[in-house]
A and B are shown apart, each in its own frame.
Chain A
Amino acid sequence: MGVSAPNSHLVPDWDSVFAQLNKGQMTDFPGGVHPPQAKALSNTTPIATPNLPDVLYIPIKQHSGVVGTISVSIGDQVKKGQALTFSSHPFSVPVHASTSGTITDIMEHPSAHASGLPETTIVLTPDGKDTWDLLPVIEDYKTASAMVLLERISDAGISGLGGAGFPTYIKTNTQKSVECIIINGIECEPYISSDDRIMREHALQIKQGIDILCHITQAKRVIVAVEDNKPEAYKALAEACGDDERMLMASVPTKYPAGGEKQLIQVLTGCEVPNGGLPIDLGILMYNVGTCFAIADAVLYGKALTQRVVTLTGQALTKPQNVWALLGTPIAHLLEHAGYKPDQQKRQKVIMGGPMMGFTVLNDTVPVVKITNCLLVPAQDELPDIDDEKPCIRCGVCADACPAGLLPQQLYWYSKAKELDKAQDYHIHDCIECGACAYVCPSEIPLVQYYRQTKAAIRQEADDKAKSDKAKERFEARQARLLADKKAREEKHRKAAEARKAAMENKGNDAKDKIAAALARAKAKRAAAAKAAQDNQQDDAN
């Protein structure tokens, strides 16, 4: 492992990257931590399939982007794989019925999110038959156009299963040239083994998914990266990908968070995603192994995304394991399946995700969603709660642990002092919230929590500013309009006055003329009368 070079602005030279990787040479990323793995708790048994739950809570938003419109109503019979929402918006993917049954309600239900805030959820009561409504199978995907395949990936509701939940077809539908697809089988979070199991058991189907992605993107190379603590998964994928010349297997040294998209790119290529950019700026697209599996399901088997592998682990479970969980399964059902012992915990607590980045869920009706990779139920002393944060002693172990090259203690000071500008100067938006800093902090300060609040405050401030800017703009526009109206009115008045004046003047002239004419007429009359009288007198005199 070399030292990371400051080549953030460089694009990988793929031939030399592959030459290096073939020799097993990778770049170390700065910082990182080695928390206890605890993977053996759950990764020793095959992925199980629990019974159908009595009820499924299917939130209509399970990806990052825009929600669709609900296309079913209460009382409808639906089949497994039937879309429940639709949208013409490009940033939306549908959700599907995870089994066949009846829509019994559409309501607000606690979300699978750290906030636990209620969100619109379709309640599905299974009929027990699990009857599929399959999409037409695209058997020979190689003759299908990229558009058809992308549409299928979208229709099947696939969003990144690694954690971020970004709609997969949007990422794949890039205009830029794809030099390399990286398949992320790192799974660096302790405890979680869902990717490990799916790689061991379904390497061939993952390979099918990779092939479909290569066909769509015309990618020239593929790197399949697996952390070196998963030798069985590595072996299974290596066998599946074996004779494909485009593919390269990489066994990445175990260090958290090596599976972060940016960190993995750095480890494999030595290059960094430029600030504000995307991996595609380096010619890279990265997919989670579970996403590849789901893509093959959608294209080759016509199955929409209705289930995923979830690790059930922690010492408060008597039977930790991995399961195929239907999306929408309330976690109570899975906890029961894995033998949850609430008395093993001082305070009942379930973490969705791993110990480093997972969040605690509000209650046991919260459903499994597309990004749910793990339910971690720690026993009393397994992951003790930290209740009292102590003063920061500026020891800097957080900075030594930060994979993004930030100064966490400075961000903490500025967060605490609400100096939002300073926090941005110190690149708070480059924090990936991996939790390495808070993990090592001897003062047990919940640093990530501070950063989340600061990021939210910065967003709020930006929103407020946008709003006030808009209000100001509206006000100024109104002022300008009023002024213009006033000017227009004054102009109108002025013109009217001028017209009147002009009219008045004209009228005056007319009047004089008329008077003159009248006078002239009168004069003429008088003259005529005088002449007549004179003539009469003359006549009389004659």
Chain B
Amino acid sequence: MQFSLSSSPHNHVRRDTKQVMQMVCLGCIPGIIAQTYFFGLGTLIQILLAVLTAVLTEALIVSLRGKTISAVINDYSAVLTGVLLGICLPPLAPWWLVVIGSFFSIAIVKQLYGGLGFNMFNPAMTGYVMLLISFPMAMTMWLPVQSLALHPYGFSDAISVIFTGYNLAGYDVNQLREIADGTSQATPLDAVRSGLIAGQTYSETLNASIFGGSNWGLGKGWTWVALAYLLGGLWLLWTKVINWQMPVSTLAGVALTALFLNMLLPDASGGVLFHLLSGAVMFGAFFIVTDPVSGSTTNQGRIIFGALIGFWTVIIRTFGGYPDAIAFAVIIMNIAVPLIDYYTQPRTYGHVQK
């Protein structure tokens, strides 16, 4: 009797790439729920549009490259990129913004480099940065917490604004950003940043309405969103989808840099909790920095990679031109990955450490 042949090992763990991607998507759910609860249903539509564009773009490019579409789409990596990008966009950003960003992430950042596993940069973050630089106005149209908004919006409003620029009652995004006193409310990062530029001290900027009287710099709604992403991230850690090194070192990098800067320049830089729980730090630490493809692969390297992302995030937030910085920090560190990996090789059995 002839037998069929295969190479060892003959058994495998049952978790494949597809499941890993799906689990990361699932890990985003608490954060997405919090985001929609506080800032409206727009985020869901952004995510849907981003995922749809990402998958279609992936299918298009893959077929142009002459590969089997189903095999590539089935790995859920394009879906994940769409989810991550959609989360990062202002809830009522116009449809073409998310479509351009998502197309760019998949076509340019991922597929032009060779597809899954070959991209040097984080696709979602690079797409986000491209949009931020190209369309700064549209990209900073963040909404107030809906319970404070002068004109809270519903699902059909959201669709209307995203596709036409006006809601069903005829208000545009700028009007939808107004809160009860008729002013528009910025994000915590914007509030501190514009306050500092206007000559206020950091503690004075915390009087902005978004902080609701919190001396710790905890933005209304935003803090809960950050904690929800932390929850999802901890679930990913617990299920061993991600390693602890990158999120922990990122958060530590943010905290230590913020602590140091705050001691050095107490009036001109934010506090530790403000930095940890504002903007995309929590989301980034667990869902962006942990992208294995564009990150460092050695355990020591992962710690350096995450810590420096944390460092750059606070530095750029404090001294840079944009309020949030995690995307820039990730891209900067993506460039450094080959170098980090080269110098952090583990010691091989029986060899003396180089």
Contacts and interface: CB of A to CB of B under 8 A. Distances in A.
Interface of A: 6, 8-9, 30, 33, 35-36, 114, 116, 190, 262, 266, 272-277, 332, 342, 347-351, 353, 355-364, 376, 378, 383-386, 388, 390-396, 399-400, 403-407, 409-410, 426-427, 430, 433, 435-436, 438-444, 446, 448-449, 452
A349 B118 contact: no
A449 B7 contact: yes
9 contacts: A272-B349, A348-B3, A349-B5, A351-B8, A390-B116, A396-B297, A436-B9, A441-B12, A443-B16
Contact of A407 (B4, B20, B292, B298): B298
A362 B349 contact: no
Interface stretch (B134-142, B192-200, B254-262, B340-348): B340-348
Contacts of B10: 351, 355-356, 358, 360, 376, 378, 383
A245 to B, nearest CB: 32
B347 A405 contact: yes
Contact of A8 (B116, B297, B350): B350
B100 interface: no
A90 to B, nearest CB: 26
Nearest to B11: A355
Nearest to B290: A395
Given A266-B349, A427-B348, A357 B8 contact: yes
A396 B298 contact: yes
Given A399-B299, A406-B348, A442-B19, 17 more contacts: A266-B349, A273-B349, A275-B348, A275-B350, A348-B1, A361-B3, A362-B3, A364-B1, A390-B17, A391-B117, A393-B77, A393-B292, A394-B293, A403-B349, A430-B351, A438-B9, A443-B117
B16 A349 contact: no
A191 to B, nearest CB: 9
A439 B292 CA distance: 18
B239 interface: no
Given A442-B16, A444-B12, A409 B297 contact: yes
Interface of B: 1-13, 15-17, 19-20, 71, 75, 77, 115-118, 243, 292-293, 295, 297-299, 302, 341, 345-353
Contact of B13 (A347, A378, A440): A440
Contacts of B292: 393-396
Given A348-B1, A393-B293, A383 B117 contact: no
A9 B71 CA distance: 48
A8 B71 contact: no
Contacts of B77: 393
A410 B351 contact: no
Contacts of B302: 396
A442 B17 contact: yes
Contacts of A376: 10
B3 A273 contact: no
Nearest to A387: B6
A448 B20 CA distance: 22
B1 A358 contact: no
Given A360-B3, A364-B1, A439-B13, A399 B351 contact: no
B348 A349 contact: no
Contacts of A357: 8-9
A126 to B, nearest CB: 22
B4 A360 contact: yes
Contacts of A449: 7
A33 B11 CA distance: 12
A33, A391, A436, most chain B CB atoms within 10 A? A391
Nearest to B2: A363
A364 B12 contact: no
Contact of A426 (B13, B345, B347): B345
B108 to A, nearest CB: 18
Given A396-B292, A435-B8, A9 B352 contact: yes
A364 B117 CA distance: 41
A385 B8 contact: no
A274 B350 contact: yes
Given A342-B1, A360-B6, A262 B350 contact: yes
B236 to A, nearest CB: 12
A405 B353 contact: no
A390 B349 CA distance: 29
The 7 A-B pairs at the shortest CB distance, nearest first, are namely A435-B9, A391-B117, A395-B292, A275-B350, A347-B4, A449-B7, A355-B11
Contacts of B13: 33, 439-440, 442
Contacts of B4: 347-349, 360, 385
A270 B20 CA distance: 35
B8 A356 contact: yes
Contacts of A349: 3-6
B234 to A, nearest CB: 19
A332 to B, nearest CB: 7
B6 A385 contact: yes
A407 B16 CA distance: 19
A332 B293 contact: no
Contact of A442 (B3, B7, B20): B20
A275 B354 CA distance: 13
Contacts of A405: 346-349
Contact of B353 (A6, A262, A360, A403): A6
B222 to A, nearest CB: 31
A322 to B, nearest CB: 20
Contacts of A452: 7
Nearest to A357: B8
B18 to A, nearest CB: 8
A438 B117 contact: no
A362 B5 contact: yes
A538 B174 CA distance: 168
A366 to B, nearest CB: 9
Given A272-B349, A360-B4, A385-B6, A394 B117 contact: yes
B17 A443 contact: yes
Nearest to A377: B3
A6 to B, nearest CB: 6
A122 B6 CA distance: 28
Nearest to B245: A396
A8 B117 CA distance: 34
Nearest to A33: B13
Contact of B349 (A262, A356, A378, A386): A262
Contacts of B16: 390, 442-444
Nearest to A346: B4
A452 B7 CA distance: 10
Nearest to A34: B13
Contacts of B8: 351, 353, 355-359, 433, 435, 438, 448
B351 A8 contact: yes
A190 B8 CA distance: 13
B12 to A, nearest CB: 6
A114 B7 contact: yes
B297 A407 contact: yes
A332 B1 contact: yes
B11 A35 contact: yes
B4, B6, B299, most chain A CB atoms within 10 A? B6
Contacts of B346: 30, 399, 405-407
A443 B347 CA distance: 25
Nearest to B301: A396
Given A360-B4, A363-B3, A396-B298, A388 B71 contact: yes
A356 B117 CA distance: 26
A83 B13 CA distance: 45
